[in-house]
């Protein structure tokens, strides 16, 4: 089972306690697990997950376990020790990169060992697909896109947007364990706490999955950082009428060091890649500035930008719903604006 | 001399006349076959009732064929066409007189009749025909390519006719001179030629040339008669037929319903799917090009050309033996791109002197694309999808059908016992912010006038106009059926609407589906309220207003004056007219589902119309249609943003103008 | 049923799971919450096919066009859900199954997956089971994944392209979206796939003739009892998640309009405001 050969790493990073006390005698203490993946490391999203885990475990008076799945470097483990009460590591050669079935099997096995009351994952597409299946295998319940989490009377409550952002629901997950994916970047990042020395290495028996084979993986379509991490986003919608105007928008975005995004209508029309899509079914972004150009602002799109600090819009239609979510806006045909705006911004930002 | 005995010898100098009679047989055969060929083509079309109400049809025929009402719309062309037409009619009558006189042995070609008609009148008309033909030739050979088709055939016809007429005058002149005709002066032009010939030709020379020229003239006439049915000069026959069988409904009522219970083809993608009347239309075309000249889509550089569409169909009908072959995309003028550019404004139909129905054929072919192939432009697909799911075409709107009435007390039909008038708000009036203001003005006017009215509110659906004109007849009938059921359930008698598209559909298209209501455009109803003294406007505004005729109100339903009177009532200065107004109004670009399409930036009909509006220097362009409202507002904004010096012309609905002059506030524009 | 493309001997048997939802285009101001405060009030809103289900159906139709096969559609819902099955029939799917819900409450994904799995076992073997990635109402995004678990099959999520392998008939090639781009996968059937949207699977519209025909086509209708799903597990499923509150969020943002005499003034002002935000970012 969870034999912990901690001695091997003992001298390298930090002194770990052998055999964490709270595992002894099965479920003396209940735990909340925040799941971090070795291939992503501890980025802003992972900090959000850990933060949510910290708060939820505090709410429920459970122990907070940081679980590292996949390649766990010493540096990563060292970083993780700052944010949880204990660390569990599930590494295996087959977990060097993500594979849905293998990762799911691994997670299931790990969770069976840790016996958590709640497991938190981030909101990338991998996490999203793992959550319900993991819940099913553990006989628990699941919820996704959690904006707020709280724990009460040993159950987890999740607040999430429903009906395309028209309503917010609070859902009680009555069947433990509660497996969740949270809107990671919208969560307050984890607070540093006393370094834990409680490390467990879990052994896994995994077999390669032959049913699903990864043939090719294309990443970083934009050639830059992730849209979710962008500080400035310039986004275009149906009103642009084609792919050509996006080059103008990109020029505008570049001088602000920003990234490009688009509404679902623009992506569906094939003007820009689907990865640019922001909204209910696209990315949820949280930039300092979201500049929406020729986007009308259906509630489904607003869902994706709810966490933006400042929203500004340029639209010909003063009644476009986007303006109801803007801090400032200009009613004008974007064709008249984008070029001169770029010139002026070059001066101002110089 | 005594005119009682005045006459002339029919063949005089010509011998072996029997040869002419023999030649007449092949001539008639060839010409007859030419006509029969066309007739056979028409019979391949589907049946259609077009012989009802003969008296109405005869009157229509008189106006258009005899008086040539439509042809005169173009002054110059109308003038020379009338000369040629009346000249040819006279010459034909004169020839018939000769026939009766000589071959039937009824001596009618004599006396006063001979002198006044057969000599003087025919002579003058002959000369006028030559004048007409010459003017036509000058135009044809000097004008740019549009709107004419520059063909070998057209030039040949002119040359041939001119030669026939000139040779006819020469024959007349030589006969007068050689016979020393005592009545020769009754044919003044012939007489001039006689005098001129006498000065340099001997009588035997004249006799000899006369004989040769006579056979030449006769040959040309017979040749022409035989050839004409194979050219556009078939139109004296087909135009008359086509005018007699023209649709009697206004243009707005010219689309026919599909019976979905029968296994008809849904729309048209083969000549065999057209009715005989559609096929007759093709042969009636005189290639005058007026339809393309007035087409708004063509004017902004789109592929659509109603004339080429008709001519290409005609070409197919004459060259394809197999009428079941696909016709869509057979030529550029028949391509989906061209078909989807149509705003269904009806300008082509209105402009046609021989009553060809171009627009309904376009809709027929759209029906095939929309229903049999289910391939529409993306944005139209979205509008259709929204109509199916929500009963309105505005996909993604954040408004409900009740939002416009916020702050007003508007009775909803479901909440009250009865009402005199149902205000049909329409999707544009309810769901487009700018038009909500018009609907509010309308409701307030009705309140002020003490009209007992109500709206359907959430029970209203799109009338189906955009669905029908985007080719989805099935969806149209579904929506219409739902609306008719609702209106009948509430026992509605009178419907008033500010949307000409709703107006047209309710008025002209619902009766065929069993919905019969009195339908009024809001301009008509408001004008009635003013004339009955129920509204007392005080015209205070000094705004210079021009009125833009909505196609579906004006051209398609012949309502031009009611909205103009409302403008006149509402503002002090006389309104100004645009160059293209009334029947000739230029579409805003929003009809036929086109307001749901993103047109290429350099091919926007609304900007073209906005430029025409701005040319008048008006402060306000008054409209009476929610589509015109948004299209023109966008158009004016676009033109102004590229040229900020242009006048800030406002777009206002006639109801807004009236409300401003009715309510107790000074008007501000 | 469409016969196989040249070289393929095995015809894929495809099931597409559909869901009828409250029209997502219902304007926000018309959105109401029911008296119990647990779900949206149907009110005046229309019901439509969930868009991702339509994307899944379109993906299946394109697959069948290219490679042949048979498509069955299934939905679990109230009787009005028949409408979306008719829509699918109008797109010429081969058969349609309606499982009538007689539950007193909205079924959650656990319950839906259990019912669908029971129906699938009754219908026979499917090589591919397609669902939408999530629904436009509650947006749980779990049904497809849970169904895979119920059936004990692997699952590929967020697929936006699906092709048959030219050699191995039990293999499909899938392109799926990820955060940073996409992945190309080879997967063995039987398999559950959740489908997302891209420019290639925009749902087609039906031909009118097929729409008319669709109303006359037979429909298999089953009740939960006929499926033999036991009531105990259903109520356990329903109890595992509970909506304790549903509220309409209040938005308070006030948009400040950028104004100015000339267009140039307005753009200058806009540029200044943007620059301020960017520099503080």
Task: Indicate whether B616 pLDDT > 70.
Answer: yes
Domain encompassing residue B615 = 545-662
Return the pLDDT at A17.
40
Residues C255 and C230 in one domain: no
Task: Indicate whether A26 pLDDT > 70.
Answer: no
At the fourth CATH level, the homologous superfamily of domain A227-349 is TPP-binding domain (3.40.50.1220)
**What is the edge-to-edge ordering of all strands in the sheet holding B421-424?**
B453-455, B421-424, B494-497, B518-521
Q: What are phi and psi of C103, to 5 degrees?
A: -75, 150
For residue B500, what are the CA distances in angstroms to B77, B394, B522, B550, B618?
33, 18, 9, 7, 23
Task: Give A20 or B663, the one with higher predicted confidence.
Answer: B663
Contact B371 C209 (CB under 8 A): yes
Query: How many CB atoms sit inside 10 A of residue C78's CB?
Result: 14
If pLDDT is split at 50, 70 and 90, which confidence band does A16 have? very low
Return the pLDDT at B133.
95
pLDDT > 90: percent of chain B: 73
Nearest residue on chain A to C239, judged by CA atoms? Answer: A174
Return the pLDDT at B510.
97
Contact C270 A330 (CB under 8 A): yes
Indicate which CATH number applies to the domain containing C53: 3.40.50.620
Return the pLDDT at B602.
83
* CA contacts within 13 A on the Cβ side of B485: 8
Task: Indicate whether A130 pLDDT > 50.
Answer: yes
Return the pLDDT at A225.
63
Interface test with B, best of C21, C25, C203, C215 (most B CBs within 10 A): C25
Contact C146 A129 (CB under 8 A): no
Please count the structural domains in chain B.
Answer: 4
Tell me if A312 sits within 8 A of A252, measured CB to CB.
Answer: no
Give, as one character, the DSSP assignment of residue B67: S
Domain encompassing residue C276 = 251-281
Task: Indicate whether A2 pLDDT > 60.
Answer: no
Residues B311 and B399 in one domain: no
Q: What are phi and psi of B375, to 5 degrees?
A: -125, 110
Return the pLDDT at A224.
55
In SS3 terms, A275-295 reads as HHEECCCCECCCCCEEEEECC
For residue C276, what are the CA distances in angstroms to A344, A349, B257, C198, C241?
13, 9, 61, 36, 45
Query: How many CB atoms sit inside 10 A of residue B600's CB?
Result: 11
Tell me if B238 sits within 8 A of B280, measured CB to CB.
Answer: yes
Return the pLDDT at A22.
44
Q: Does this chain's domain A7-201 share its CATH topology with A227-349?
A: yes
Task: Indicate whether C252 pLDDT > 70.
Answer: no
Residues B360 and B450 in one domain: no
Q: Name the burial class of residue A133, with classes exposed (0-12), middle (13-18) and buried (19+) by CB atoms within 10 angstroms of its CB.
A: buried
Residues B272 and B340 in one domain: yes
The answer to the question of residue B59 being in a domain is no
Return the pLDDT at A222.
52
Residues B103 and B207 in one domain: yes
Residues B393 and B460 in one domain: yes
Return the pLDDT at A11.
34
For residue B571, what are the CA distances in angstroms to B229, B344, B441, B537, C235?
56, 32, 16, 9, 71
Pick from C25, C208, C262: which is nearest to B371 by CB?
Answer: C208
d(CA A182, CA B70): 72
List the 243-262 stretch of C: residues with Cβ below 8 A of B.
Answer: 262
What rounded mean pLDDT belongs to chain B?
91
The answer to the question of residue B70 being in a domain is no
d(CA B512, CA B506): 10
Beta bridge partners of C16: C73, C130
Indicate which CATH number applies to the domain containing B330: 1.10.1060.10
**SS3 call for A157:** strand
Average pLDDT score over residue span C5-12 = 67
Residues C214 and C234 in one domain: yes
Average pLDDT score over residue span A68-94 = 94
Task: Indicate whether C91 pLDDT > 70.
Answer: yes
Angle between helices B378-390 and B473-489 (to 10 degrees): 30
Return the pLDDT at A3.
40
d(CA B559, CA B549): 9
The last residue of one of the domains, among B500, B531, B562, is B531
pLDDT per position as a tens digit, B18-68: 888 899 999 999 999 999 999 999 999 999 999 999 999 999 999 988 888
| B374 interfaces chain C, CB cutoff of 8 Å | yes
Nearest residue on chain A to B630, judged by CA atoms? Answer: A317
Average pLDDT score over residue span B70-80 = 87
Q: What is the dihedral of CA B56, B61, B63, B69, to 10 degrees?
A: 130
Return the pLDDT at A23.
44
Helix, strand, coil distribution of chain C in percent, nearest 5: 35, 25, 40
Q: What are phi and psi of B98, to 5 degrees?
A: -60, -45
Assigned token pair, B461:
């659906």
Using omega within 30 degrees of 0 as the cis cutoff, is the peptide bond preceding B238 cis?
Answer: no
The answer to the question of residue B570 being in a domain is yes
DSSP strands (E only) in A51-193:
63-69, 86-90, 118-121, 141-146, 148-152, 155-162, 167-173, 178-182
Helix, strand, coil distribution of chain A in percent, nearest 5: 35, 25, 40
Query: How many CB atoms sit inside 10 A of residue B21's CB?
Result: 9
Task: Indicate whether A14 pLDDT > 80.
Answer: no
Q: What is the ipTM of this complex?
A: 0.91
Tell me if C223 sits within 8 A of C102, measured CB to CB.
Answer: yes
Return the pLDDT at C7.
53
Closest CA to C126 of C236, C13, C266, C214: C13
d(CA A303, CA A284): 7
Using omega within 30 degrees of 0 as the cis cutoff, is the peptide bond preceding B147 cis?
Answer: yes
Return the pLDDT at B553.
97
Residues C164 and C29 in one domain: yes
CB-defined contacts A:B, below 8 A: 15
Pick from A288, A314, A331: which is nearest to C277 by CB?
Answer: A288
CATH level 3 topology of A7-201? Rossmann fold (3.40.50)
Assigned token pair, B58:
């005869």
Please state the domain extents for chain A. Answer: 7-201, 227-349
Tell me if B626 sits within 8 A of B428, measured CB to CB.
Answer: yes
| B4 interfaces chain A, CB cutoff of 8 Å | no
From the CA of B597, how many Å to the nearest CA of chain A? 10
Average pLDDT score over residue span B393-419 = 90
Helices (H), chain C: 51-67, 82-90, 109-123, 143-151, 208-214, 224-227, 231-240, 263-280
Please count the structural domains in chain C.
Answer: 2
């Amino acid at each position: 089972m969870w034999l912990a050969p901690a001695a091997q790493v003992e001298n390298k990073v930090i002194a770990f306690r052998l055999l964490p006390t709270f595992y002894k005698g099965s479920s003396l203490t209940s735990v909340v697990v925040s799941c971090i993946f070795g291939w992503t490391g501890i980025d802003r999203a992972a900090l959000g997950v850990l933060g949510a885990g910290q708060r939820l475990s505090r709410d429920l008076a459970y122990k907070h376990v940081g679980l590292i799945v996949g390649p766990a470097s010493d540096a990563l483990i060292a970083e993780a020790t700052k944010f949880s009460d204990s660390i569990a590591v599930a590494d295996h050669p087959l977990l060097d990169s993500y594979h849905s079935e293998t990762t799911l099997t691994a997670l299931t096995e790990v969770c069976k060992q840790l016996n958590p009351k709640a497991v938190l994952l981030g909101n990338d597409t991998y996490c999203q697909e793992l959550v319900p299946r993991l819940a099913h295998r553990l006989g628990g319940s699941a919820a996704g896109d959690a904006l707020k989490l709280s724990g009460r009377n040993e159950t987890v409550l999740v607040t999430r947007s429903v009906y395309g952002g028209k309503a917010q629901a609070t859902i009680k997950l009555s069947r433990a364990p509660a497996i969740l994916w949270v809107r990671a970047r919208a969560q307050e990042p984890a607070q540093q706490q006393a370094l834990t020395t409680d490390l467990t290495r879990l052994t896994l028996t995994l077999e390669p999955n032959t049913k699903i084979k990864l043939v090719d993986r294309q990443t970083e379509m934009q050639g830059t950082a992730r849209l979710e991490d962008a500080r400035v986003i310039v986004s275009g919608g149906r009103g642009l009428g084609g792919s050509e105007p996006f080059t103008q928008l990109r020029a505008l975005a570049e001088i602000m060091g920003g990234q490009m995004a688009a509404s679902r209508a623009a992506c569906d029309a094939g003007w820009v890649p689907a990865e640019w899509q922001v909204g209910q079914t696209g990315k949820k972004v949280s930039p300092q500035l979201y500049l929406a150009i020729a986007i009308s602002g259906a509630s489904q799109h607003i869902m994706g930008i709810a966490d933006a600090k400042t929203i500004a819009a340029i639209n010909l239609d003063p009644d476009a719903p986007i303006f109801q979510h803007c801090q400032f806006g200009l009613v004008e045909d974007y064709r008249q604006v984008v070029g001169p705006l770029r010139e002026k911004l070059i001066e101002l930002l110089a | 001399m005594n005119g009682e005995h005045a006459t002339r010898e029919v063949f005089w100098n010509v011998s072996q006349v029997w040869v002419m009679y023999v030649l007449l047989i092949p001539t008639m055969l060839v010409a007859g076959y030419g006509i029969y060929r066309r007739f056979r083509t028409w019979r391949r079309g589907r049946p259609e009732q077009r012989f009802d109400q003969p008296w109405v049809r005869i009157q229509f025929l008189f106006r258009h064929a005899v008086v040539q009402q439509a042809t005169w719309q173009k002054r110059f062309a109308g003038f020379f066409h009338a000369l040629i037409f009346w000249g040819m009619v006279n010459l034909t009558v004169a020839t018939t007189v000769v026939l009766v006189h000589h071959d039937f042995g009824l001596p009618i070609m004599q006396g006063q009749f001979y002198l006044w008609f057969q000599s003087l009148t025919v002579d003058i008309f002959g000369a006028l025909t030559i004048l007409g033909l010459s003017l036509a030739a000058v135009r044809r050979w000097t004008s740019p390519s549009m709107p004419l088709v520059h063909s070998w055939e057209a030039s040949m016809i002119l040359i041939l006719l001119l030669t026939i007429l000139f040779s006819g005058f020469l024959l007349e002149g030589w006969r007068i001179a050689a016979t020393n005709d005592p009545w020769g002066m009754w044919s003044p032009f012939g007489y001039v030629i006689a005098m001129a010939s006498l000065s340099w030709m001997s009588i035997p020379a004249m006799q000899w040339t006369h004989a040769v020229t006579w056979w030449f003239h006769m040959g040309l006439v017979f040749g022409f008669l035989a050839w004409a049915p194979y050219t556009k000069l078939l139109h004296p026959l087909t135009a008359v037929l086509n005018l007699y069988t023209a649709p009697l409904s206004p243009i707005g009522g010219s689309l026919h319903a599909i019976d979905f219970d029968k296994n008809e083809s849904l729309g048209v993608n083969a000549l065999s799917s057209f009715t005989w009347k559609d096929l007759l239309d093709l042969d009636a075309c005189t290639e005058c090009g007026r339809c393309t000249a007035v087409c708004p889509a063509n004017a902004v550089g789109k592929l659509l050309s109603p004339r080429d569409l008709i001519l290409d169909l005609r070409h197919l009908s004459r060259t394809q033996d197999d009428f079941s072959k696909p016709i869509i995309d057979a030529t550029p003028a028949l391509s989906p791109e061209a078909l989807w550019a149509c705003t269904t404004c009806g300008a082509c139909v209105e402009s046609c002197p021989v009553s060809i129905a171009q627009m309904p054929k376009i809709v027929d072919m759209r029906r095939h694309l929309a229903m049999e192939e289910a391939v529409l432009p993306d944005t139209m697909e979205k509008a259709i999808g929204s109509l199916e799911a929500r009963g309105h075409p505005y996909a993604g709107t954040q408004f409900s059908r009740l939002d416009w009435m916020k702050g007003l007390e508007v009775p909803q039909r479901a909440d009250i016992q009865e009402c005199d008038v149902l205000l049909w708000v329409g999707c544009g009036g309810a769901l487009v912010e700018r038009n909500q203001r018009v609907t509010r003005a309308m409701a307030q006017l009705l309140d002020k006038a003490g009209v007992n009215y109500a709206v359907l509110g959430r029970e209203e659906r799109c009338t189906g106009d955009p669905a029908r004109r985007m080719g989805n007849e099935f969806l149209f009938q579904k929506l219409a059926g739902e609306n008719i059921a609702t209106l009948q359930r509430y026992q509605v008698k009178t419907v008033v609407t500010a949307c000409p598209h709703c107006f047209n559909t309710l008025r002209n298209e619902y009766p065929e589906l069993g919905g019969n209501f009195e339908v009024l455009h809001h301009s008509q109803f408001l004008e009635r309220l003013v004339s009955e003294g129920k509204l007392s406007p005080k015209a205070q505004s000094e705004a210079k207003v021009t009125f833009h005729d909505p196609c579906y109100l004006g051209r398609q339903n012949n309502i031009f004056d009611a909205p103009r009177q409302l403008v006149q009532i509402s503002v002090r200065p006389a309104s100004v007219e645009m160059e293209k107004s009334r029947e000739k109004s230029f579409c805003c670009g929003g009809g036929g589902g086109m307001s749901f399409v993103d047109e290429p930036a350099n091919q926007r009909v609304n900007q073209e119309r906005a430029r025409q509006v701005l040319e008048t220097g008006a402060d306000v362009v008054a409209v009476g249609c929610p589509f015109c409202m948004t299209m023109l507002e966008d158009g004016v904004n676009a033109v102004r943003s590229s040229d900020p010096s242009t006048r800030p012309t406002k777009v206002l609905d006639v109801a807004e103008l009236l409300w401003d002059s009715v309510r107790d506030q000074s008007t501000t524009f | 049923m469409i016969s196989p493309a040249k070289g393929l001997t095995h015809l894929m048997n495809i099931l597409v799971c559909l869901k009828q939802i409250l029209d997502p285009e219902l304007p926000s101001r018309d959105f109401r919450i029911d008296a119990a405060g647990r779900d949206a009030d149907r009110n005046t809103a229309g019901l439509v096919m969930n868009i991702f289900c339509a994307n899944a159906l379109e993906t299946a139709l394109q697959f069948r066009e290219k490679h042949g096969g048979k498509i069955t559609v299934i939905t679990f819902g109230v009787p009005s859900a028949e409408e979306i099955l008719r829509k699918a029939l109008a797109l010429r799917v081969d058969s349609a199954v309606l499982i009538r819900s007689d539950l007193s409450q909205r079924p959650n994904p656990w319950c839906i997956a259990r019912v669908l799995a029971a129906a699938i076992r009754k219908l026979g073997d499917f090589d591919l089971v397609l669902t939408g990635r999530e629904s436009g109402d509650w947006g749980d995004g779990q049904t497809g994944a849970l169904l895979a678990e119920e059936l004990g099959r692997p699952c590929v999520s967020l697929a936006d392209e699906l092709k048959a392998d030219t050699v191995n008939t039990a293999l499909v090639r899938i392109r799926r979206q990820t955060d940073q781009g996409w992945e190309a996968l080879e997967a063995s059937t039987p398999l559950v796939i959740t489908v997302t949207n891209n420019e290639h699977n925009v749902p087609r519209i039906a031909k009118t003739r097929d729409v008319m025909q669709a109303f006359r086509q037979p429909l298999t209708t089953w009740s939960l009892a006929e499926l033999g799903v036991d009531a105990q597990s259903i109520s356990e499923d329903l109890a595992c998640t509970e909506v304790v509150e549903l509220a309409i969020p209040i938005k308070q943002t006030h948009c400040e309009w950028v104004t100015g005499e000339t267009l140039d003034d307005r753009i200058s002002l806009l540029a200044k405001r943007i620059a301020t935000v960017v520099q503080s970012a």
